[in-house]
Amino acid sequence: MTGPFPKDAVNRNAAMTTRAFLAALLAAPAALLAQPSGDLLVRADRLVISPGNELTERAAILVRDGKVAFLGPEIPAPAAAAAREMRFEGTIAPGFVDPHAHLGIAKDLAEAIDAVTPDLSAADALDPFDDALGRAARYGVCTLALAPRSANAFAGRAAMVRAGVTGTLLMEDAYLKLALVDESLDQNRFPTSRMGAVDLMRLSFARARDAANDDRASQAIRRTLDGGRLAFHTRRHAGITSALDLCDELGVQPLLIGADEAARSTARLVRTRGSVVLAPLNLDSPLRHLRLPATLEAAGVPFSFMTEAPPRDATAATGRAEATNSTAHPEALRVSAALAVRHGASRTTALAAITRVPAEQCGAADRCGSLLQGRDASFVVVGGDPLDLGAPLLAVFVAGKRVDLEDRGDDR
């Protein structure tokens, strides 16, 4: 954990340790009984190492210490012999990655009073025992970015979290989230317009660039500009244009969250090597949303899906965006990818949209999103192609531990 504010980090560590200790206390006996030899060998008919790179013969994965130790034909015989073996008829694919989630704590992620809060970290709100984390794992979402809500111009930093009955914080600086949506403008303070918000962002960036400013906000922004990632939550074309303009000025790669109208900016996105996080697709999505993935694929813009759907026209109904709880369901990732395929996207790209691409967007490609050696052994086993909804989810492993897929009724 490389927090900028050591004191906070220590405090949080202390809190986390207590909870982790409790969790360990509960989980330890089971783990000891289940895995006496330590290594785990999972065999299947097919192994997707990363989208487009797969084994169809001798598909196997050796898990050691929660990491991918060996793959397929490369598994040394002695190690394979010593490991506990599991065999499935189906496909092993990387665990799904959700690049933007609020889990069950959306209310705790909307710190709306101040418009510029880049020094807030969603990690500080993480509840490792959040039911939503367990549910995510049960649906194959093994890693997710817990992001602040879009209540501010600078909403704060997202954190990568490993799902499971007990969540684990993987890294703190997935990206710095900025918001150019109605929710961020309806907070009874400056800015209430996009004009004001863009100006505020520009001034804040300028202030942060001046090393003389050492307030926390400037520090946090400065650190992001020095190799971090910026994510803009914006839906409409006009907002996307503003976000891309800002990214151009700052010289950073654009990452757009929830950009429903990205189809009109594909050329700019390709030129700036930008990528998009799409709102989940569902049966009632309009055709232009359903076809957006195929459009982006054809244009060469990487995209991913998130589980968090935008609070649709919440402002229109109530006059202001309310900090309601999340409406997301982890299965939305796989359903969205299947719908994208149904509407013209290729299977490879659609699978990448819920594995490799979100991992890259969150700067966690070395941890998740693919099953290369050394990555987390977080994967799903599906009785068929992962993008066919008709293929049942047979098993989910998070960091080498098998997830109980039965709903224990703990997720209401």
Partner 1 sequence: MIALRQASPRRLHAAGPSSHTLRVGLALLCGLCPAMAQDDAVALRGATVHPVAGPPIEGGVVIFAGGKIQAIGDGQTPLPAGATVIDCEGAVITPGLVDAATALGVSSRDANEQGDEVTPHLHIVDVIDPAAPAFRRARRAGVTTAQVSPGNRNAVGGLGAVVKTRGDTVADMLVRDETCLRVTLGSEPSAGNRPIRFGTPATIYYRRPNTRMGVVWAIRKAFYDAMAYRDRKTVPEEGEPAASDAGMEVLLQALERKLQVRTTARAEQDIRTALRLAAEFGYETVVEEATEAWRVADDLAAAQARVVFAAPSADSSTDGAKPRWHSLNALAAADVPFAIATGSNKAALDLIHEVTFAVRNGLDRDAALASVTLEPARILGVAERVGSLEAGKDADLVVWSGDPFDPSSRPTRVYIDGKEVQ
Partner 2 sequence: MLRPFSFDPRCALVAVLAPVVGLAAQEAPEADPPAERALSAIRVAVAHPIAGPPIRDAVLLIEEGRLTAVGPADEVTIPADATVLEFPDSHAYPGLVDALSVAFGDPTVLNDKQADAGTPVFEGLDPTDRASRALIDYGITTAYVSNRADSTWRGLGAVLHPRHDGFAQAEGEETIAAGVQVNMAGATDKHPLERDKARRAIGELFATLEAYRKAQERHPRKVEKYEAEFSKYLDYHRDQKSKKGPKGDADKGEAKTGDKIKDADTDPPAAKPPQEEGGENGGGEGNGKAKTKAAPAKKRQTGRDDGAAKADGAKKKDADKAPKRPNFPKPPTPDPAKEALMRVVDGELPLRVEVQRAEEIQAALELAREHSVPRLVLEGTAAAADVEAIAAAGVPFVLTGFLEPQQPPRSAAFERAGRLAGQLEGAGVTVAIGSGSVRGSRHLPLLAAYAAGKGLSADAAVRAITLSDAEVLGVDDQVGSLQAGKRADVLIVSGPLLASDTRILAVLSAGDIAFRATAAGTEDR
Residue 329, interface with partner 2 (CB under 8 A)? yes
Give the shortest CB-81-to-partner 2 separation in angstroms: 35
Residue 45, interface with partner 2 (CB under 8 A)? no
Contacts (Cβ under 8 Å, ≥6 apart) of 53: 370
Q: Which stretch binds partner 1 (CB under 8 A): 74-82, 89-97, 198-206, 367-375?
A: 198-206
CA dist 343 and 352 (Å) reads: 16
Instruction: Please choose which of partner 1, partner 2, none residue 341 contacts, taking the beta carbon within 5 to 8 angstroms, the exact cut-off set by kind.
Output: partner 2
Cis-peptide, bond into residue 330, ω within 30° of zero? no
Residue 388, interface with partner 2 (CB under 8 A)? yes
Instruction: Please choose which of partner 2, partner 1, none residue 190 contacts, taking the beta carbon within 5 to 8 angstroms, the exact cut-off set by kind.
Output: partner 1
CA dist 325 and 315 (Å) reads: 15
Q: Between residues 71 and 109, which has the closer beta carbon with respect to partner 2? A: 109
Share in percent of the chain as helix, strand, coil (round to 5): 35, 20, 40
Instruction: Write out the DSSP string of 355-404.
Output: THHHHHHTT-TTTSSS--TTSB--EEEESS-TT-TTS-EEEEEETTEE--
Contacts (Cβ under 8 Å, ≥6 apart) of 341: 347, 350, 387
Q: Between residues 149 and 223, which has the closer beta carbon with respect to partner 2? A: 149
Give how far Cα 213 sits from Cα of 116, 191, 220, 222, Å. Answer: 15, 22, 11, 10
Give how far Cα 147 sits from Cα of 30, 36, 98, Å. Answer: 32, 37, 10
Q: Which stretch binds partner 1 (CB under 8 A): 4-12, 167-175, 195-203, 325-333?
A: 195-203
Residue 104, interface with partner 1 (CB under 8 A)? no
Residue 191, interface with partner 1 (CB under 8 A)? yes
Residue 299, interface with partner 2 (CB under 8 A)? no
Dihedrals phi, psi of 104, to nearest 5 degrees: -90, 15
Give the shortest CB-341-to-partner 1 separation in angstroms: 29
Residue 268, interface with partner 1 (CB under 8 A)? yes
Q: Between residues 131 and 245, which has the closer beta carbon with respect to partner 1? A: 245
The residues that touch partner 2, with contacts defined as CB under 8 A, are 135, 280, 282-286, 309, 325-332, 335, 338-339, 341-344, 346-347, 350, 385, 387-393, 407, 409, 411-412
